[in-house]
Amino acid sequence: MTYSYYIAAGSNIHPRREYINRAVSALTRHGRIAGESPLYRSAAYGVREQAEFLNAVLEWHSDLPPLEALALLKRIEKETGRRESFRWGPREIDLDIIDYNGREWHDEQLTIPHADFENRLFVLYPLRDVAPDYRNRRGQTLTRLIENCSDRGEISLYTPEAYVP
């Protein structure tokens, strides 16, 4: 069976774009990227006193079932350079399964759909770019989810900084 996952990727430690690019490259070795949002800049979520994040959402097709996909994402995070931090702390790379084309999944290791994605504009905006017709498990559109989102942090499309030699 081929699974279609929506994966959120984020980084707020320099070089942010490079960490995300390396993670995307690693995912292509284990499946196919069917869609990739532009990068968004957003304020940190949870612990606000830290550098802003770059965020994206990918549609990734793979033969890996959910727990194997999660194990792969954790391995890619480690190989990409993620170091241990506190909850909602700075991250070189963060990869989360947001949803997939299977049944809901709830256990101590993994929850699909992601338990809090509907409260995160930095997931909803790029998800809308990748899957504009997405509806959550209750049938709500992304437009509705964005309108009802409790996260009111700053978010904008990322424009690469000007190169300074």
Catalytic residues: 82, 91, 94, 96
> Any residues with CB less than 8 A from the CB of 51 and at least 6 apart, and which?
12, 13, 44, 90
Rg (CA), the chain: 15
> Phi then psi for 9, rounded to 5 degrees?
-125, 135
> Any residues with CB less than 8 A from the CB of 77 and at least 6 apart, and which?
23, 92, 93, 94, 95
Distance, CA of 141 to CA of 139 (rounded, Å)? 7
